[in-house]
Amino acid sequence: MTGNAITAEGLRKRYGETQAVDGATFEVRHGEFYGILGPNGAGKTTTLEIVEGLREPDEGTATLLGEPSWPRNKTLLRRIGVQLQASAFFERLSAREQIHTFASIYGVPTARADEMLETVGLAEKSRTRENKLSGGQAQRLSIACALVHDPELVFLDEPTTGLDPQARRNLWDLLRTINSEGRTVVLTTHYMDEAEVLCDRVAIMDEGRVLRVGAPAQLIEELGVRSLEDVFLQLTGREYRE
Ligand SMILES: Nc1ncnc2c1ncn2[C@@H]1O[C@H](COP(=O)(O)OP(=O)(O)OP(=O)(O)O)[C@@H](O)[C@H]1O
């Protein structure tokens, strides 16, 4: 495929007095595992919402899979997967009912939805209600729902937040598989070790701008530091977790 999976140029978005995104520019290649890192309030979520076509920028343009993100494009929405927070599940439904609901929205056969539950290791929990799933299970269900229509590109917003180390590692394996099947993966995370092991490249964001982009190892070398955590500290002048 030619061109980039995502091109974002000079994105700006203001909410009242807050300049949430202030000229964000970056590109994601097809098949890339791309991380967006930044402290709370850096503008990551707003930037992704603009790229996904869910929010109109005040300025700038975003191109997603070769098409403009805005005005919202229904054909494009079918080609991308957006992981919703576990709190966005339909109330009182079981894991299987949740994913069947997503499948029916996209016209996907229920057998495919059941397969997806199995892929994320939730076949045994299919009859469990959303509010009875553990944190890791709920994250895996939300990823399964985002993948049920076999999108080319997946957006994951802090997929491993709040998980114990073993559950995080299991999810890393799943995310690697998703990417190795040829899908572009864009993820935001608060964990530098996670970005370091998973991402081909990361964009470091602060105050609505992309400060630097590169492969984790390359950034570490360029700045002459020991870890991505140090890169972050050096570029933003602050600890990642405040
Ligand atoms: N709908 C909104 N209305 C008003 N202000 C908003 C809105 N959404 C975000 N903001 C503000 O814009 C700034 C950027 O928020 P955003 O959620 O994009 O950052 P983030 O990097 O995703 O943060 P976090 O890591 O905490 O999720 C913050 O100061 C936030 O308070």
Q: Specify the CATH number for the domain of residue 185.
A: 3.40.50.300
140 CB near ligand 1 (under 6 Å): no
Residue 163 confidence (pLDDT) above 90: no
Phi/psi of residue 2, nearest 5 degrees: -95, 165
Question: Does 118 fall in a domain?
Answer: yes
CB 121 within 8 A of CB 170: yes
Residue 206 confidence (pLDDT) above 60: yes
CA atoms within 13 A on the CB side of 6: 32
Atom of ligand 1 nearest to the CA of 38: 21
- Gyration radius of the chain's alpha carbons: 18
Outline where 120-227 has alpha helix (H): 135-147, 165-180, 192-198, 216-223
Q: With a threshold of 0.90, tell me whether the complex ipTM lies above it.
A: yes
Q: Kindly give the distance from the C-alpha atom of residue 224 to the centroid of ligand 1, in angstroms, as a whole number.
A: 32
Question: Does 242 fall in a domain?
Answer: no
CB 223 within 8 A of CB 214: no
Listing DSSP states for 40-108 in one string gives TTSSHHHHHHHHHTSS--SEEEEEETTEESSS--HHHHHHEEEPPPGGGSPTT-BHHHHHHHHHHHTT-
pLDDT tens-place string over residues 31-59:
999 999 998 899 999 999 999 999 999 99
- The best mutation among 12, 36, 45 to test binding of ligand 1, ranked by most ligand atoms within 8 Å of the C-beta, falls on 45
Question: Does 60 fall in a domain?
Answer: yes
Residue 1 confidence (pLDDT) above 60: no
53 CB near ligand 1 (under 6 Å): no
Per the structure, the complete domain to which residue 61 belongs is given by 4-236
Give the pLDDT confidence score for residue 120 in this predicted structure: 87
- Average pLDDT for the chain: 92
* pLDDT mean over 161-187: 90
Question: Does 36 fall in a domain?
Answer: yes
208 CB near ligand 1 (under 6 Å): no
Question: Does 241 fall in a domain?
Answer: no
* pLDDT mean over 127-155: 93
Residue 152, helix vs strand vs coil: coil
CB 153 within 8 A of CB 83: no
pLDDT tens-place string over residues 74-118:
889 899 999 987 678 889 999 999 999 999 999 999 999 999 999
* pLDDT mean over 8-35: 97
Q: Kindly give the distance from the C-alpha atom of residue 40 to the centroid of ligand 1, in angstroms, as a whole number.
A: 8
Which residue has its alpha carbon closest to ligand 1 atom 3?
15
Number of structural domains found in the chain = 1
